[in-house]
Amino acid sequence: MNLIELSRAPHQLRLGGMAPVLETRLSQAQAEAMAPIDLISRLASDEVTRRTDRLLERRRNQARFRDPDRTLDNFDFTFHPKMNRSLVFDLATGAFIHKREHVLFLGPGGTGKSHLAQAISQAAIQQGFKVLYRETHILLDELAEAVTDDTRREYMESVATVPLLIIDDFGMRKLPHTAAEDLLEIIMRRYERFSTLLTSNRAVEDWGKLLGDVAAVSAMLDRLLHHGHVLKCGPRSWRTKTAPAS
């Protein structure tokens, strides 16, 4: 097999990570008098790296983050010195997902809830978990569209079985009259099976009024808090701090 034929083989074998670096690795092997086992090891490592990177990118795209650049590295913990940092980093390990626990991030707008939720989700993806991120109103809009398309069962199944579901910005917008029933169904189906992280700018005492169904909210909170963690953010708003002076 000559070099041209050899360069085609990785593509034919679907070794997309090995193909673009094959000639470079062969030149390296000659220059360094590399042992065959070392050359094979380098090529295998190239392939594994490429596949891992593609899987992570695919899962990030599937999650559909609103702000895909949000990480713990670019979160300013000094702005909220009283925040429970230990809990944040514990959540980023993914242990709560393994334990099928839930998380509530509560606090005023602009205090970093969505940033942290997406950052923890990014860490979860790095650890191999599938994640779905939705703002609350978008989640409910998609569910309503699924009802119209007669695909509600399939959509609900996808939402109910993803290992980590992020429901962001609960309380930011007026919700449809079916919101309490739909959210309760999602939480009930995920309870003790999968993890949910919900952020809200409303105190839990206001949720009953917000959804117009105190009984449904009570049932939701009972399940979210039974195996759950609560992180309080604020009271200062990062967006207010960084707004230009008028």
Which of helix, strand or coil describes residue 19? helix
For the whole model, what pTM was predicted? Answer: 0.81
**Residue 121: what pLDDT?**
98
Residues contacting 198, CB < 8 A, separation 6+: 102, 103, 104, 105, 166, 167, 168, 170, 224
**Residue 189: what pLDDT?**
97
**Residue 21: what pLDDT?**
84
**Residue 62: what pLDDT?**
94
What does pLDDT average to in each consecutive run of 10 residues of the chain (246 residues)? 59 71 87 91 86 90 95 91 93 97 94 96 96 97 96 97 98 91 97 98 93 95 95 70 43
Closest CA to 106 of 116, 92, 118: 116
